[in-house]
Structure 1
């Protein structure tokens, strides 16, 4: 993978905002993403910053029998200020916020977090 990292918007820095932005795109035979839909947005211009960075990126090609193919690709972009680590409490606040919005986790870690929100005694 090559290309630019997202620029962190000043308003997001002031707010110390963090987010997970979810995209569904097509990965073309040239290694570029196209036809991206934003499945989960973020405030403070973070979504727009992620989109601008994605436009510059190239990914490893998907191959079938050694030939590049066009494939659907789910991409999750985590944005947080440089040097900011999320505490367990802050991470749970974020998971609860996503739960209220109706987001569904797609990763194993996401499902685990989802279970912790629904059943806090599960560890």
Structure 2
């Protein structure tokens, strides 16, 4: 299953300016807050979580929340993710791949998920 999302970096920057760290804490885990140091990265994490939810065909909502998804970096620097709160088992995740990029004022993410 494939999910793709695009978000305006300006939109995420406005959210950050309006709500500060509290706004970011609504969709980022503490471990993710430590990883991101640029607004482009924050927007990339937002797009990644949306892309993952789309690949799982449920969207962000009751079945899967922003905080059920943890984005992290592999030792190589490549992004990856894990599902928390027993969601790996719920969605029968076998394998996954994640790509995040930003350019021209947008952050884009693509997630590929193989289910058992």
**Which bracket does the TM-score occupy, shorter chain normalised?**
under 0.3
Larger Rg: 1
Given the two structures, how large is their TM-score scaled by the length of structure 1? Answer: 0.22
Given the two structures, how large is their TM-score scaled by the length of structure 2? Answer: 0.23
Which gives a bigger RCO, structure 1 or 2 (Cα 8 Å, sep 6+)? 2
Kindly indicate which of the two structures has a greater share of residues assigned to helix. 2
Kindly indicate which of the two structures has a greater share of residues assigned to strand. 2
